[in-house]
Amino acid sequence: MNKQKSYDKAIETGLLYLVPTPIGNLQDMTFRAIDTLKEVGVIASEDTRNTQKLLNHFQVETPQISFHEHNYKERIPKLVERLLAGESIAQVSDAGMPSISDPGHELVVACIEANLPVVALPGATAGVTALIASGLSAEKFTFYGFLGRKKNLQLKELEALQEKRETLIFYESPYRLKATFTNMVAVFGEDRQGSLCRELTKLHEEYIRGSLLDILAYLQDNEIKGECCILVAGFDGEIVAESENDWSGLSVLEHIEVEMTENQQSSKEAIKQVAKLRGLKKQEVYKEYHQET
């Protein structure tokens, strides 16, 4: 068990401050964040060159030390040693909140294990910022971050999220958007609602809202640049019990016939359901059905 009173006057060590930075617009930097960066002994930065531009803008003269995914193992013991000696440290990522798809978590864990106080400052985070303007439900959501890059891994991850009722939040590279939305249409279905947001808080901020198929069609005809956030509406259908979902031994045509007979569905409805359950494109199932019939 670890109990922390962040501002106990009896604390003799330094404090680790987790300081969010703007995700685009520099005016989103808070007064408290600027003051903290000025007051600490050193700033642990994901990219010192990138952070220096921010420090110069706000006239912060505090020295930096690099802290990123390639050197965190060697940096953590030295940073913990400085904190134990009474020096406070601010940790920042290139944009947004530290630890959210960025470095920081391992340093936090090390500080907790050393009984050092960790203080998080509130600030910008792309996923929640995009969520509240997406038009999708913001009451409950799951932040997933980056999906796997390989198709099979990504499909497995999406299938595990297929029946989640809450809005899903993903980060993605603009170079992988078409492939990712293709997989989302295959797993979630073409009618599932979504939102693609790029360049949050920047001059070219843009939201593309609609069904996953609509967004995929837009991506086929338009080039997207910049940082991207994908939001997908939660599942609102009926969850099929495992015992009712045993179609592994059926052909696609047999599966359609079962859906039509047992669930009293039209061929159109059955084709859509079979495509969704099997992770196939509706057009492929439609073509196979009509070729056989």
Mean pLDDT over 64-72 rounds to: 92
109-127 exposure pattern, b = at least 16 Cβ within 10 A, e = fewer: ebbeeeebbbebeebbbbb
Chain mean pLDDT for the chain: 90
- Contact call for residues 168 and 234 (beta carbons, < 8 A): yes
Strands 64-66 and 42-45: parallel
| CATH code of the domain made up of 126-232 | 3.30.950.10
Domain boundaries for CATH 3.40.1010.10 within the chain: 16-120
- Contact call for residues 282 and 256 (beta carbons, < 8 A): no
pLDDT at 243: 45
pLDDT at 293: 55
pLDDT tens for 110-163 read: 999 999 999 999 999 999 999 999 999 999 999 999 999 999 899 999 999 999
Q: Which residues contact 287 (CB under 8 A, 6 or more apart)?
A: none
What CATH superfamily is the domain 16-120? Answer: Tetrapyrrole methylase, N-terminal domain (3.40.1010.10)
Structural element, H or E, at residue 146: strand 141-146
d(CA 103, CA 85): 23
pTM over 0.95: no
